[in-house]
Amino acid sequence: MKKYTLFILLFVSLNSFGQQFLWTTNKNGLFPNSEMKVISKDEVLDKLKFYYENYSVYYDGTGFTKEGFFEKFQTSNSYRTTNKNTWEQFKKSVSEINELTITCIKVNEGTGSSVLILIVNKNNFDSIIFSNTIEEGHIPTMGLILGFPKFEKFYKTLIEN
Tell me the per-residue pLDDT of 97-131, one tens digit each, with 9 for 90 and over. Answer: 999 999 998 887 777 888 999 999 999 999 999 99
d(CA 25, CA 145): 27
Q: Which residue has the higher pLDDT, 146 or 67?
A: 67
Whole-number Cα distances in Å, 36 to 41, 93, 130: 15, 15, 20
Instruction: Quote the pLDDT of residue 14.
Output: 42
pLDDT band at 46 (very low <50, low <70, confident <90, very high): very high
The answer, yes or no, to whether residue 55 has pLDDT greater than 80, is yes
Domain boundaries, position 74: 2-159
pTM for the predicted model, two decimal places: 0.85
Q: What percent of the chain has pLDDT over 70?
A: 82
* Residue 8 contacts residue 87 (beta carbons within 8 Å): no
* Residue 37 contacts residue 22 (beta carbons within 8 Å): yes
pLDDT band at 32 (very low <50, low <70, confident <90, very high): low
Measured in residues, the chain has a length of: 161
Interstrand relation of 101-108 and 57-65 (parallel, antiparallel or unpaired): unpaired
Total structural domains within the chain: 1
d(CA 92, CA 86): 10
Q: Which residue has the higher pLDDT, 84 or 34?
A: 84
